[in-house]
Amino acid sequence: MLWARYPAALCLLVFVLAAGSAAGGDPAQAPPTAEEGPGSGERDREQVVPDCAAEMAARVQETYDEVRDLRARFRQRTHSAAFGAAGGTEPPTSGRVAFAKPGRMHWRYEQPEPSQVISDGATLWIYDPAAQEVQILEVGEAFLSAAAIQFLLGSGTLQGSFHIMATGCGETQVQLHLLPKEAATYEWLELEVAAADGTILRTVVHDLLGNRTEVTFEDLERNPDLPESHFRFETPEGVRELRLPAP
């Protein structure tokens, strides 16, 4: 249920936080062939540039090694495979997001309907003001069993957790495809980064059902020294708490 409702909030910390959670890691791996890699059709026909992939993965890692916390505005679009090519894109959402090491995040959805997804690295809160309900999940070892969640909460590195491919090496922007090395709750990921410094500009999560969630980041601020309280949630009076079992 959590992954279905908030795929971006639960997957995208893979990039903007955990990419810098530890220095080093394995070199970028040679990308799978079209037969081995995820997807087919147009994606398989794209040119793969392994040298660019290794260079940019290292640049992203170096950039985010220096990040303690960050905040940005975001725009999110989700395409549902169940509705096919026509009419499968859900209304866009937007808001503000913040991340802090290790494993803390705060997604504040503002449009079209307000909601929040918050984690202090040990507890996850999903707050729906319209429903007057907050879902609470303790993120213990069982929840961390998926590779994506391990990386989400600060374990591992970008290069150590993914096979990394490049499908575009422009002068200003680079497009990377990331295939998880271990079983995950998604199939593969796209990452668009600034060529100059490895800043993450856009991410796309492709899940196991063929759904696609795209998030674009704007006005990114590094190391604003956010308080611990920004990554905690206090249940307002009158709001029902729904405690969920660990998956």
Better-predicted residue by pLDDT, 101 or 46: 101
Mean pLDDT over 164-176 rounds to: 90
CATH of 2-244 given 2.30.110.10, 2.50.20.10, 3.30.360.10, 3.40.109.10? 2.50.20.10
**CA-to-CA dists, residue 50 to 30, 31, 40, 55, 176, angstroms:** 6, 7, 19, 9, 10
Which pTM was predicted?
0.77
The H-or-E segment that residue 244 falls in is strand 240-244
- What would the pLDDT profile of 76-112 be if each residue is shown by its tens digit? 998 888 765 555 677 899 999 998 887 788 999 999 9
Task: Quote the CA–CA distance of 1 and 135 in Å, as a whole number.
Answer: 11
**61 contact partners, CB below 8 Å, separation of at least 6:** 19, 20, 23, 25, 157, 158, 159, 198
What percentage of residues in the chain have a pLDDT greater than 90?
Answer: 36
Residue that is written with structure tokens 């994506």 in the block? 148
What is the spatial distance between Cα 31 and Cα 46, in angstroms, rounded to a whole number? 12
Band (247; pLDDT cuts 50, 70, 90): low
Residue 42's pLDDT band, with cuts at 50, 70 and 90, is very low
- Tens of pLDDT, residues 199-232: 989 988 888 888 888 999 999 999 999 999 999 9
pLDDT in the model for residue 101: 82
- pLDDT over threshold 90, residue 235: yes
Q: Is 172's pLDDT higher than 70?
A: yes
| CA distance between the termini of the chain | 10
pLDDT in tens, 177-203: 989 888 777 888 898 999 999 898 998
Average pLDDT over residues 34-48: 43
The pLDDT value recorded for residue 20 is 39
Encode burial over 178-204: b for 16+ CB neighbours within 10 A, e otherwise.
bbbeeebbbbbbbbbbbbeebbbebbb
Model pLDDT, residue 216: 94
- Inter-residue contact 98 to 105 (CB < 8 Å): yes
